[in-house]
Structure 1
Amino acid sequence: MTFVALINPNTSVATTEMMAAIARRTLRSDDGYEVLGVTVADGPTMLVDEDVLRAAGPQVLAAARSTLAGPEGERVKALVVGAFGDPGIEELRAWADVPVVVIAEAAMAEAAAGGRRFGIATTTPGLAAAIAARVDRLGRSSQYTGIRLTPGDPLELAAAPEVMRERLADAVGACIAEDGAEAVIIGGGPLGEAAEAVQGRFPVPVIGPVPAACREVRRVLERS
């Protein structure tokens, strides 16, 4: 089996389990993959602003070190970081001797394929500036139509998944109708189930970042 460790940069074990379950639908055991869900040791249950996003970087690196030093470490062939701000990515890539895939980078590459213009729909206004900076750093600004944010507190929305899904669907619709997006990313690993729920409602691709990252993992590992 090819082991892939999916690191959740927040401390919600339920979120880790949800993202790992989504990942396993792309990195399937029938195809020889095993997804290990890894939860960081310290931090908030959801990353909602730039301060906690920055603070998550060292926690991600520590979780990766612990995982690769652990009993399954020698079998782990790739790491996935499951937060849309891609915390700790530079340090992790500099240190790790296995491929490191991050969900924002992978989702943007997929959304922008073929020159498509893409938008992002998410629940965290406190991360809007960080997301825009990540778009710019990845060289995607010319294709980026902007971000659409759901109304309401992100943590309260996370506790009301049906409401969150509908508000995200409204945000996706605005990306398409008002901003001209030809693809829309649901901006957040913890929004993975919501992303799956709203896919198929729209005439353009709605991209869940966790499956996008897993598809990138497959491409990277199958090339090596």
Structure 2
Amino acid sequence: MSGRRILLINPNSLEATTAMMVAIARSEVPDGFDIVGATATRAPPMIVSADALDAAAPEVEEIAGAHRNLYDGMIVAAFGDPGLTGIRSALKLPAVGIGEASMRAAAEGGRRFGVATTTPLLEARIDALPEALGLRSSYTGTRFADGDPHDLMRDPERLRAALAGAVEACIVQDGAEAVIIGGGPLGEAARKLQPMFTVPIIAPIPSAVARIIGLITARAAG
């Protein structure tokens, strides 16, 4: 498995977010794998609406297509998985999205799971993911951090506190047995929140890394 390369595509246009997500992903990969980042240029710095999510999909597919011969697998690193369906249709490569991967991880063992995130305008899209994955009966719903998403991202301490409140609501009010921190740009916050709770706090980037490595390994084994 020496020299396997994974492309992490950031559908948001902020290079600093890409660097953060790549650093998290690299900390999760075993020897013989590497993660490289690619950043969208036509999207906003942070996708917070359904329209922006839809608009991001074509560029994500373009990035994937331009790198199709250079990588062994791809990760779409925005929680709505924009462009993932198109990548799978067009390319003969393993590809995963952080939304899909984290929901599959959260639901392992029949756990009931919720999502804590910052983007209320994406609620309908988040709700659609477990339906598409056949996990609707395990999904307890999404809770949103108090505050404007952009303001929260500028203040890591406030972001963590607001997300902690949303996680608590998922557990106490909704009965979630695992909670996903819903968003690639929330990767660092997810790590800080994990030791604060007794239920599993699912970080999407490590979930996607584990899933893509499994797919690449299975494909190589034939």
Shorter-chain TM-score bucket reads over 0.9
Counting matched residue pairs gives 217
Q: Secondary structure at the match of 1:18?
A: helix
What is the CA–CA distance in structure 1 between the aligned matches of 2:99 and 2:156, rounded to whole Å?
22
In the other structure, the counterpart of 1:109 is 104
Counterpart among 164, 167, 171 of residue 166 in structure 2? 171
RMSD: 0.9
Superposition deviation, residue 67 in structure 1: 2.3
Looking at structure 2, the residues matched to 63 and 156 of structure 1 have their Cα atoms a distance apart, in angstroms, of 29
- Trace 1:65-214 onto structure 2 (pairs within 5 A): 65-68=65-68, 73-74=69-70, 76-214=71-209
Query: In structure 2, what residue type is equivalent to 1:18?
Result: M
Q: For the Cα contact (< 8 Å) 1:41–1:63, is it kept in 2?
A: no
TM-score scaled to structure 1, two decimals?
A: 0.95
**Which residue matches 1:51?**
51
Match of 1:36 in 2: 36
Percent of residue pairs bearing the same amino acid type: 48
Gap regions ≥5 residues in structure 2 = none
TM-score by length of 2: 0.95
Gaps of 5+ in 1: none
**Shift of residue 96, structure 1, vs aligned partner:** 1.1
Which aligned segments of 4 or more residues in structure 1 are displaced greater than 2 angstroms? none
Return the offset for 1:55.
0.3
- Per-residue Cα deviation, 1:47-66 (whole angstroms, up to 9, x for no partner): 00000000000010111122
1:185 aligns to what SS in structure 2? strand
Aligned equivalents of 1:64, 1:40: Cα separation in 2: 11
Per-residue deviation at 1:27? 1.4
Please state whether the residue corresponding to 1:101 is helix, strand or coil: strand
Q: Distance in 1 between matches of 2:59 and 2:147?
A: 28
CA distance in 2, matches of 1:92, 1:223: 19
